[in-house]
């Protein structure tokens, strides 16, 4: 008899978030978060993860015998088979080949499984969210960067040590700007939150006729994708054009990936996706314009449904799946 309760935990650059998930319903029944304090070093951070999860389980009134396992996500490169962090660019300290799975298991005494943060979001949206019921889907999480994930034949694609599915690093312009990953012209350089903000900043600095500057009292540091969405919703032509441009680049990236895997659904989530149809409409239009060979009308593009819980739910589902293997 398998337990239905699993923990999902996300190690982020600023915060560690944990949730206790009831897999019979997909509900997060308890959650906690704490500051990462990554400057203390990886051993201290792993101790903080263990304490956070232990306190949450106790506070929820559960015994450890009721918990089937823990799924943990982190940003950056992980070796999911060996349970190591290979390289985490945004966390200070030494995260090269840290055996995070074994170290956490020694603290918690339950199985721990690790995966990339956006693969976890993909799995959550597929199991209990906007991708439920389809056997093939793509997921893009658009925020400070663009992450991605792929489900094919009801399996999360984790080839090449879990690096498969990096849809944010599909090249959409091979003369494009340099990306943080080291390549040039990745879709992330054109449609991430900072890329959209930069387009708004440029429009204001160039003196184009737009409300974007007015909305932030001309404090240019305050221009964000959200501000540009507010201007676009008020009918600002420059702001609308920025969203159309960003959406078109995402549409090209999705088309490239879709031609390879043939998804029934594409889930677009993350902070920037809160712009809703401002982003989704140009994505769909660009896909329809370019996707000649595959029936574009059979590839749905939909917003995510699980919000900030998607990753936690996906990690819990992943831990249960791995525990069954």
Tens of pLDDT, residues 279-303: 999 999 999 999 999 999 999 999 9
Across 160-178, average pLDDT: 93
| Residue 194 CB partners (closer than 8 Å, separation 6+) | 144
Largest CA distance in the chain: 66
Name the percent of the chain lying above pLDDT 90. Answer: 88
Across 149-162, average pLDDT: 93
* 318 shares a domain with 281: no
* 291 shares a domain with 155: yes
Closest alpha carbon to 23 in 53, 2, 1: 2
* 148 shares a domain with 76: no
* 232 shares a domain with 185: yes
* 239 shares a domain with 172: yes
Q: Which residues of 127-154 are buried (b: 16+ CB within 10 A; e: fewer)?
A: bbbbbeeeebbbbbbbbbbbbbbbbbee
Across 224-246, average pLDDT: 98
Q: How confident is the model at residue 1 (pLDDT cuts 50, 70, 90)?
A: very low
* 290 shares a domain with 145: yes
* 190 shares a domain with 138: yes
pLDDT score, position 208: 96
* 314 shares a domain with 297: no
Q: Phi and psi at residue 164, in whole multiples of 5°?
A: -65, 145
pLDDT digits (tens, 9 = 90+) for 55-106: 999 999 999 999 999 999 988 788 888 999 988 877 877 798 999 999 999 9
Domain carrying residue 183: 133-304
Across 220-224, average pLDDT: 97
Across 248-267, average pLDDT: 97
277: pLDDT strictly greater than 60: yes
pLDDT score, position 275: 97
pLDDT score, position 2: 67
Q: What is the CATH number of the domain that holds 199?
A: 3.30.420.40
* 247 shares a domain with 229: yes
Q: In terms of DSSP bridges, do strands 67-74 and 27-35 run parallel, antiparallel, or are they unpaired?
A: unpaired
226: pLDDT strictly greater than 80: yes
pLDDT score, position 98: 93
Q: Are 87 and 95 in contact (CB under 8 A)?
A: yes
pLDDT score, position 86: 87
Looking from the CA of 162 toward its CB, the CA atoms found within 13 Å total 24
Name the percent of the chain lying above pLDDT 70. Answer: 99
Closest alpha carbon to 16 in 137, 117, 108, 105: 117
Mean pLDDT of the chain: 95
Q: Considering its fold, how many domains does the chain have in total?
A: 2
pLDDT score, position 13: 86
Looking from the CA of 117 toward its CB, the CA atoms found within 13 Å total 22
* 235 shares a domain with 171: yes
């Amino acid at each position: 008899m398998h337990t239905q309760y699993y923990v999902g935990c996300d190690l982020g650059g600023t915060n560690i978030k944990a949730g206790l998930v009831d897999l019979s319903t997909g509900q997060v029944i308890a959650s906690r978060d704490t500051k990462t304090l990554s400057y203390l070093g990886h051993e201290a951070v792993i101790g903080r993860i263990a304490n956070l999860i232990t306190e949450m389980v106790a506070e929820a009134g559960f015994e450890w015998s009721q918990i089937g396992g823990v799924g943990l996500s982190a940003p950056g490169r992980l070796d999911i088979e060996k349970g190591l962090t290979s390289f985490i660019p945004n966390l200070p300290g030494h995260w090269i080949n840290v055996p995070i799975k074994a170290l956490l298991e020694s603290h918690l005494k339950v199985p721990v499984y690790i995966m990339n943060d956006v693969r976890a979001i993909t799995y959550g949206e597929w199991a209990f969210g906007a991708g439920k019921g389809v056997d093939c889907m793509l997921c893009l999480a658009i925020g400070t960067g663009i992450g991605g994930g792929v489900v094919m034949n009801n399996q999360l694609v984790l080839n090449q040590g879990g690096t498969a599915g990096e849809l944010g690093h599909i090249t959409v312009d091979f003369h494009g700007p340099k990306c943080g990953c080291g390549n040039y012209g990745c879709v992330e350089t054109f449609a991430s939150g900072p890329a959209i903000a930069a387009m708004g900043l440029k429009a204001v600095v160039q003196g184009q006729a737009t409300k974007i500057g007015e909305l932030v009292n001309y404090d240019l540091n305050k221009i964000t994708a959200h501000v540009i969405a507010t201007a676009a919703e008020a009918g600002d032509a420059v702001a609308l054009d920025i969203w159309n441009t960003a959406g078109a680049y995402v549409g090209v990236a999705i088309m490239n990936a879709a031609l390879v895997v043939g998804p029934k659904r594409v889930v677009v989530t993350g902070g920037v996706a809160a712009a809703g149809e401002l982003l989704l409409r140009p994505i769909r239009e660009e896909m329809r314009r370019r996707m000649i060979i595959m029936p574009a009308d059979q590839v749905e593009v939909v917003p995510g449904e699980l919000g900030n819980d998607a990753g936690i739910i996906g990690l819990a589902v992943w831990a249960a799946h791995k525990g069954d293997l």
